[in-house]
Every structure is written in structure tokens, then in C-alpha cells.
């Protein structure tokens, strides 16, 4: 949809100045909390402080206690709600398949039926909880892409959600953080995309589509997890059965954009690095590509590139395609090399700024904004 590299660069041109300023403000707010906690006015906010103070601010400024919210999102209820809502919208039913052959006892298998005809269209597996040795992110895998077979029949798609949602304990069911519920809806968007396909060829089946469209169905699914009337259908307190109060949903929605500057910059960092590695220049110098490049820079750049590739959530067996991730499962700090982390979060801004300036050879962002986000702890060039 972007069609050419200039459009992508123009997009970043437009976004980055405002986002960098927003990120700077967000760092300053969190930095004041850190200074208060440590009684040290010179304490420098580090990358690993980000999520802690994000949670603190969510509670202090918006009244959102993640554990209070989780009481309304038992996993089984969220799955039932997810299936009820999408079943109604798309005319589907999801009977369980109790005797399916699966790779672990935790895995539950569902069939997808057309509600009117009763025809089985596809199947999907749900592997919700972490365990030793398991894939550690959240993803939807198209295990069998749908396609037309030589005998004229249609090969039934099979997908799987592999996630790491909060596990139940001896005295408590699996209670999801709201962002985990968002992740589940997001991944199920990929499952629907993969399993409701009618493509003739596997190459174009489900999420084997143009890469910048892959996340679209999942974004629509995410939207429903912020809607009070949708949540009222299934988000009920695991002990009292009371539906989630509208006022609590309003608080969640109000806090949705907390630190959106930093989280968007993190996503842009992936995109900018990707453009740098795979953009139009023929002559790729991996040591020069990234601002933290230097004597150990190539290794750091490769680590960052690997990190970018593994932060994906829709996978396609036919083309091994991967995509960037939404905010829902971006619970990890950015892929920052150790030398950058020692410089704190301001250096994270500096990294993005310099990376962008590197690919955008005339450095128009630097000149147009006048900001030098590297601050006192300037990075190696």
C-alpha cells in the first residue's frame, strides 16, 4: 500500500518530530517519579524503568489497577465471549473437537462451522499458557493454508494460537490482564483471516497477503476490547459475576494512550531499521547502518534485526512471512544494545533519531526540529 520507499520516509518525516517531542515529555514525567522514589534529582530513567512507571502512572493518574481489571477477565469467559461475538458477526459456530491430535495436553481444538449450513470450514488449536521450552511470544500460525486441490475440493485450513497468557493457580482461575485480552482478540483476528480464506492458491491464502494488510483484521478485533457494550457481554467478575463497571472501562480507555509517544517510537524503530536493512540502497554496510554500530556494532545490529523479526504475531507457513506487532503484546523493552541502555531512555530517542537521519541522508528531521535527543549521554556515531 505504501508502494515506494519515498512514501515510507515521508510518513516518518511527518510523524517523528512530534513523536520525539512527545516521548521526551513522557520520559520527563516518569523521570520525576524516579527522582522522588530515589530521592535523587539526578537519577536517570533507564529502559527497564519504563514499564514499572507506566504501570504506576496508569494507577496514579487514571485509577487503573491492572489486578482489579484482571478479575473481570477469566480466560474461559474471554474465549467464550470472543467466539460469541465473532460467531454473531460472521455467522459461525465453534464446536470443540475433543479427540483432536494435539502436541500438548493444554491445547484445545475447535472446529469452525458455517452457522446456517452446519458445514465445517476449518479448525484451530488454542495453546494458551507458558511452559518450559515453548515459543515465548504470542502468535497465530497457519498450520495448513486453505487452497483449491486438483480434484476441485477445498483444503480445509488449520490454524493455531500459541500464547503465554497468565496461568491458573490452585486457588485462582487464569485471570487475564486487559492487554492479554487484547492480545487474544488480536491473534484471533489472524486465525479468522487464515481460516475463512477462499483463496485458490496457498500463496494468497489468509495472512499470505500483502504484508502491510496482514494486521488489519486484528486491529478491528482489538477495537472491540475497548468497547463497553462488547465487554459487558463477557467481562464479568470471576467471583461475583458482576459485569465490568462502565466507569472502569472508561478509565481503561482514558489510559489507553499513556506513553503512546514512546511505544510508537519503539515501533518506528523497527520499521526504520527494516527500511535500512532492506531498502533500496545496493551497498549495505551492516557496521554503518545502525547508530550503535562500532567495534561490536555489527553484533548489536544483528541482534536488533533478529529481535525485530521475532516480534511478530502472524506467521505464514507458505511464505515464512512475519509482521510487526501491535501495542497489545509489546510488553518488552525496545531491542536496545547494552551500550545504549546505559545511556537511559533519552538515548533510545537518540537512537531512533540518528537511525532515521542515517537512512534519510539529508537529515531533514534534525534540521527541522532542532532537537538533539541524545542529550548529555550522546551515542557513538
Binding site for Zn ion (CB under 5 A): 215, 218, 313-314
Helix (H) or strand (E) holding 301: helix 297-310
Phi, psi (rounded to 5 degrees) for 52: -60, -50
Give whichever of 49 and 215 is closer to Zn ion, judged by the CB atom: 215
Helix (H) or strand (E) holding 229: helix 228-231
Q: How far is CA 108 from CA 105, 124, 127, 143, in A?
A: 8, 9, 7, 15
Sheet of strand 120-127: strand arrangement = 92-93, 108-114, 120-127, 158-162, 139-144, 314-316
Distance of closest approach, residue 189 Cβ to Zn ion, in angstroms = 7
Give whichever of 311 and 340 is closer to Zn ion, judged by the CB atom: 311
Distance of closest approach, residue 361 Cβ to Zn ion, in angstroms = 32
Phi, psi (rounded to 5 degrees) for 333: -65, 165
Q: How far is CA 152 from CA 123, 155, 159, 198, 200, in A?
A: 20, 9, 22, 13, 10
319 Cβ contact partners less than 8 Å away, ≥ 6 residues apart: 203, 208
Give whichever of 313 and 365 is closer to Zn ion, judged by the CB atom: 313
Give whichever of 163 and 202 is closer to Zn ion, judged by the CB atom: 163
CA end-to-end span of the chain, whole Å?
Answer: 33
The torsion of the CA quartet 13, 16, 17, 19, rounded to 10 degrees, works out to 150
- Chain centre distance of CA 182: 9
Distance of closest approach, residue 43 Cβ to Zn ion, in angstroms = 36
Cross-strand bridge partners of residue 74: 175
CA 193-314-86 angle, 5° bins:
35
Query: How many Å apart are CA 371 and CA 83, to the nearest integer?
Result: 48
Nearest C-alpha neighbor of 206 from the set 157, 161, 148? 157
3-state helix, strand, coil in the chain (%, to 5): 50, 10, 40
Give whichever of 113 and 186 is closer to Zn ion, judged by the CB atom: 186
Distance of closest approach, residue 270 Cβ to Zn ion, in angstroms = 13
Q: Which is the catalytic residue, given 44, 180, 187, 215?
A: 187
Distance of closest approach, residue 325 Cβ to Zn ion, in angstroms = 6
The full DSSP string for 22-65 is HHHHHHHHHHHHHHHHHT-TT----GGGHHHHHHHHHHHHH---
Give whichever of 139 and 249 is closer to Zn ion, judged by the CB atom: 139
Give whichever of 58 and 193 is closer to Zn ion, judged by the CB atom: 193
Distance of closest approach, residue 63 Cβ to Zn ion, in angstroms = 30
Distance of closest approach, residue 214 Cβ to Zn ion, in angstroms = 7
Look up 187 and say whether it is catalytic: yes
**Residue number closest to Zn ion, CB atom:** 313
- Residues annotated catalytic, as ranges: 187
Amino acid at each position: 500500500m505504501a508502494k515506494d520507499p519515498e512514501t515510507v520516509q515521508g510518513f516518518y518525516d511527518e510523524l517523528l518530530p512530534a513523536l520525539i517531542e512527545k516521548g521526551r515529555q513522557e520520559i520527563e514525567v516518569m523521570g520525576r517519579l524516579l527522582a522522588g522514589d530515589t530521592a535523587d534529582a539526578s537519577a536517570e530513567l533507564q529502559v527497564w524503568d519504563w514499564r514499572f512507571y507506566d504501570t504506576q502512572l496508569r494507577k496514579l493518574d487514571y485509577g487503573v489497577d491492572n489486578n482489579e481489571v484482571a478479575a473481570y477477565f477469566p480466560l474461559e469467559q474471554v474465549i467464550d465471549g470472543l467466539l460469541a461475538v465473532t460467531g454473531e458477526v460472521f455467522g459461525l459456530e465453534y464446536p470443540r473437537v475433543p479427540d483432536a491430535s494435539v502436541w500438548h495436553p493444554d491445547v484445545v481444538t475447535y472446529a469452525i462451522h458455517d452457522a446456517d449450513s452446519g458445514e465445517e470450514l476449518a479448525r484451530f488449536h488454542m495453546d494458551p499458557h507458558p511452559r518450559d521450552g515453548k515459543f515465548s511470544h504470542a502468535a497465530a500460525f497457519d498450520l495448513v493454508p486453505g487452497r483449491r486441490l486438483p480434484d476441485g475440493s477445498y483444503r480445509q485450513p488449520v490454524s493455531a494460537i500459541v500464547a503465554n497468557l497468565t496461568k491458573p493457580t490452585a486457588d485462582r482461575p487464569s485471570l487475564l490482564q486487559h492487554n492479554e485480552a487484547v492480545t487474544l482478540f488480536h491473534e484471533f483476528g489472524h486465525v479468522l483471516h487464515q481460516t475463512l480464506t477462499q483463496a485458490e492458491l496457498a500463496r494468497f491464502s489468509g495472512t499470505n497477503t500483502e504484508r502491510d494488510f496482514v494486521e488489519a483484521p486484528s486491529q478491528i478485533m482489538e477495537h472491540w476490547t475497548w468497547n463497553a457494550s462488547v465487554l459487558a457481554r463477557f467481562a464479568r467478575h470471576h467471583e461475583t459475576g458482576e459485569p465490568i463497571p462502565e466507569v472502569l472501562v472508561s478509565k481503561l480507555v482514558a489510559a489507553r494512550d499513556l506513553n503512546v509517544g514512546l511505544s510508537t517510537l519503539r515501533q518506528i524503530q523497527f520499521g526504520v531499521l527494516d527500511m535500512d536493512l532492506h531498502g533500496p540502497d545496493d551497498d549495505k554496510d551492516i557496521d554503518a547502518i545502525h547508530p550503535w554500530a562500532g567495534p561490536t556494532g555489527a553484533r548489536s545490529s544483528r541482534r536488533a534485526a533478529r529481535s525485530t523479526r521475532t516480534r511478530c504475531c502472524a506467521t505464514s507457513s507458505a511464505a515464512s512471512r512475519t509482521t510487526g506487532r501491535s501495542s497489545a503484546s509489546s510488553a518488552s523493552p525496545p531491542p536496545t544494545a547494552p551500550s545504549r541502555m546505559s545511556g537511559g531512555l533519552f538515548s533510545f530517542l537518540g537512537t531512533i533519531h540518528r537511525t532515521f537521519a542515517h537512512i534519510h541522508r539529508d537529515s531533514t528531521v534534525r534540521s527541522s526540529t532542532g532537537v538533539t535527543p541524545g542529550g548529555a549521554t550522546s551515542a557513538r556515531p
